[in-house]
């Protein structure tokens, strides 16, 4: 978005990454990560609950 262009160089974050690209990567990873954790830990469908049951108990997700 508002990447400042100085002499053809894009602003680099502390990680040495282009800001716009990093933002997209963060958004995608966060979305996927939340989705997977929801699937494994919270999804209410009973088949999913039963499949993940022991994992949920061990990782202390509220269960039943």
Partner 1 sequence: MIIRLLSAALVAGFLAAVVATGLQLALTSPLIVAAERYETHDAQASAGHPPVLRSGALPGALPIVLAHAHSGAPAHSEAEADSGAAAAWQPGPGLPRMAFTGLATLIGGVGYALLLGAVMLACGRAPTLERGLGFAVAGFLAVALAPALGLPPELPGSEAAPLAARQAWWLMTAASTAMGLYLIAIRRVPVTILGGLVLLVAPHVAGAPEVAATASPLPAGLAAQFAARSLAIAFVFWAVIGLAFGWAWQAFGRTAPAPAHA
Scored b (16 or more CB within 10 A) or e, 10-24 reads: eeeeeeeeeeeeeee
Query: Least Å distance between CB 2 and partner 1?
Result: 16
Judged by CB, which is closer to partner 1: 2, or 46? 46
- Site map (CB under 8 A) of partner 1, residues 5-44, x = contact: --xxxx-xxxxxxx--xx-xxxxxxx-xxxxxxxxxxx--
Residue 35 parent element (H or E): helix 19-41
Judged by CB, which is closer to partner 1: 1, or 49? 49
């Amino acid at each position: 978005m508002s990447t400042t262009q100085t002499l053809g160089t894009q602003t680099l974050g502390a990680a040495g990454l282009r800001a716009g690209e990093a933002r997209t990567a963060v958004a995608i990873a966060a979305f996927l990560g939340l989705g997977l954790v929801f699937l494994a830990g919270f999804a209410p469908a009973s088949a999913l609950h039963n499949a993940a049951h022991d994992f949920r108990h061990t990782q202390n997700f509220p269960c039943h």
